[in-house]
């Protein structure tokens, strides 16, 4: 099958590679000229384990080519970003989807399959995308087969999860779902579950919303426990001994381009009814401020304080800082006039002033851990606090319990959280 994939980012590129690996001819399309150049030189422009090796293999065999414009194909897969708009409900911005649809319009032929992989609000296929295609003069389910096939892969293990995870296929009609399923069956080993478009849209959004709401519960519990002087991590450990309870881990907030984005797409469509969902977003968004207030109390009275921040990515062991709560924390520190040093062994961005861990803690009054990178899980607490001016450690991700010297320092009553 000849497949044209629009959008070669974290989802579109691995998807293209998977289709090409199972002997489909894939044309990858992106508006980013630099990405096209890199890809056509045989390299990839994103970081993802195992992807480059697989990519080189399909390019060498002639199954993949990147270009800036679509062309005729049997199937079109849209994998472009759908960010939040800057409006009251942070609603779903469909402008990239609309321009992708416009770009394939001249190449659409009877019998084509059109699949939207991008995350979209409930009813978007029915209310916006299907009418667009019908306006082009096609009858969906007879001339064109339209489906929403959301992805649910975790960055860092995309390839494995793309193959093994169960896949939801939401067809505009039953025939649309069957056609789309045939395509994915070429590489998906997990179960392929057929449904309608709106159910597929809502289930994808609800997966991430479920996680966001549960993290909000853990974060709220943290605030309540702190107010009542109860150790929240002990409470979570105890409660999770129950076979049907799984309280998530509290932290400095929720980042990334999924959990911090998707719940708003549901709220937008039914604001009066989505109360727990929007409250959870509020609670998770309040965490950076909560952390900063707490830091303020811990270093109260210290002249010209210096805070060393360890870990600024949105979660541990990745290089991605999109929507990371750490950035908000750092901004608030700057507004308060604190001196700040930042250490993150995973981030390579030049516009953030990073320094080594040793230098970061030198003369610091507080060490704040915001991401649970593996590098932070081992260390010598005594060595670190010896370099600090004031030995206060605030660990929002519970990483340093494993550090050498932790128990010794803790028993002397220093502020380890």
Q: Which residues bind ligand SAJ (CB under 6 A)?
A: 152-155, 207-208, 211, 215, 248-249, 251, 254-256, 258-259, 314-315
Pick the closer one to ligand SAJ by CB: 377 or 389.
377
Q: Which helix (H) or strand (E) holds 54?
A: helix 51-60
**Least Å distance between CB 327 and ligand SAJ?**
12
Q: Is 90 a catalytic residue?
A: no
Q: What is the signed CA dihedral for 34, 39, 43, 45, rounded to 10 degrees?
A: 50
Q: How many other CB atoms are there within 10 angstroms of residue 68's CB atom?
A: 12
Q: Is 306 a catalytic residue?
A: no
Pick the closer one to ligand SAJ by CB: 26 or 120.
120
Pick the closer one to ligand SAJ by CB: 138 or 265.
265
Residue 150 contacts residue 200 (beta carbons within 8 Å): yes
Pick the closer one to ligand SAJ by CB: 197 or 399.
399
> Which positions ≥6 away from 143 have C-beta within 8 Å?
110, 111
**Least Å distance between CB 359 and ligand SAJ?**
26
Q: Which helix (H) or strand (E) holds 309?
A: strand 306-310
Q: Check the CA dihedral 381-387-389-395 and report its sign.
A: negative
Q: Could you say which of 92, 149, 176, 258 is catalytic?
A: 258
Task: Give the distance, in angstroms, between the CA of residue 165 and the centroid of all CA atoms in the same chain.
Answer: 17
Q: Could you say which of 90, 179, 198, 204 is catalytic?
A: 204
> Which positions ≥6 away from 115 have C-beta within 8 Å?
75, 76, 77, 78, 146, 147, 148, 149, 180, 183
Task: Tell me which residue has its CB nearest to ligand SAJ.
Answer: 258
Pick the closer one to ligand SAJ by CB: 322 or 336.
322
Q: Which residue, 289, 269, 297, 231, is CA-closest to 124?
A: 269
Q: How many residues does the chain have?
A: 417
Helix (H, G, I), strand (E, B) or coil at 111: coil
Could you list the active site residues?
204, 258
């Amino acid at each position: 099958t000849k497949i044209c994939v629009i959008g070669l980012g974290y989802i579109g590129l691995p998807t293209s590679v998977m289709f090409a690996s199972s002997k489909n001819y894939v044309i990858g399309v992106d508006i980013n000229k630099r990405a096209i150049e890199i890809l056509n030189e045989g390299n990839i422009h994103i970081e993802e384990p195992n992807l480059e090796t697989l990519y080189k293999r399909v390019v060498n065999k002639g199954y993949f080519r990147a270009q800036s414009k679509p062309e005729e194909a049997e199937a079109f897969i849209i994998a472009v970003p759908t960010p939040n708009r800057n409006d009251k409900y942070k609603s779903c911005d469909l402008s990239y989807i609309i321009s992708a649809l416009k770009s394939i319009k001249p190449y659409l032929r009877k019998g084509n399959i059109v699949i939207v992989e991008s995350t979209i609000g409930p009813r978007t296929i029915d209310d916006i995308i299907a009418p667009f295609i019908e306006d082009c003069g096609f009858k969906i389910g007879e001339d064109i087969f339209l489906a929403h096939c959301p992805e649910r892969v975790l960055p860092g293990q995309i390839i494995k999860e793309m193959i093994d995870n169960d896949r939801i296929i939401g067809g505009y009609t039953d025939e649309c779902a069957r056609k789309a399923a045939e395509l994915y069956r070429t590489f998906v080993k997990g179960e392929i579950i057929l449904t309608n478009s709106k159910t597929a849209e809502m289930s994808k959004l609800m997966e991430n919303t479920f996680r966001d709401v549960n993290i909000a519960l853990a974060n709220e519990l943290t605030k309540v426990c702190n107010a009542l002087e109860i150790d929240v991590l002990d409470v979570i450990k105890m409660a999770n001994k129950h076979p049907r309870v799984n309280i998530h881990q509290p932290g400095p907030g929720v980042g990334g381009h999924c959990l911090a984005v998707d719940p708003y797409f549901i709220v937008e469509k039914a604001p009066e009814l989505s109360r727990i969902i929007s409250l959870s977003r509020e609670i998770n968004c309040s965490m950076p401020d909560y952390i900063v207030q707490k830091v303020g109390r811990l270093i109260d009275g210290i002249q010209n304080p210096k805070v060393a921040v360890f870990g600024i990515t949105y979660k541990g062991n990745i290089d991605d800082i999109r929507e990371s709560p750490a950035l908000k924390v750092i901004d608030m520190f700057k507004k308060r006039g604190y001196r700040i040093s930042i250490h993150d062994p995973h981030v390579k961005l030049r516009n953030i002033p990073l320094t080594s861990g040793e230098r970061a803690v030198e003369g610091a009054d507080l060490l704040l851990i915001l991401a649970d990178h593996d590098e932070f899980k081992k260390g010598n607490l005594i060595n670190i606090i010896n370099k600090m001016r004031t030995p206060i450690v605030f660990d929002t991700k519970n990483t340093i319990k494993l550090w050498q010297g932790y128990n010794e320092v803790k028993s002397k009553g220093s502020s380890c959280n």
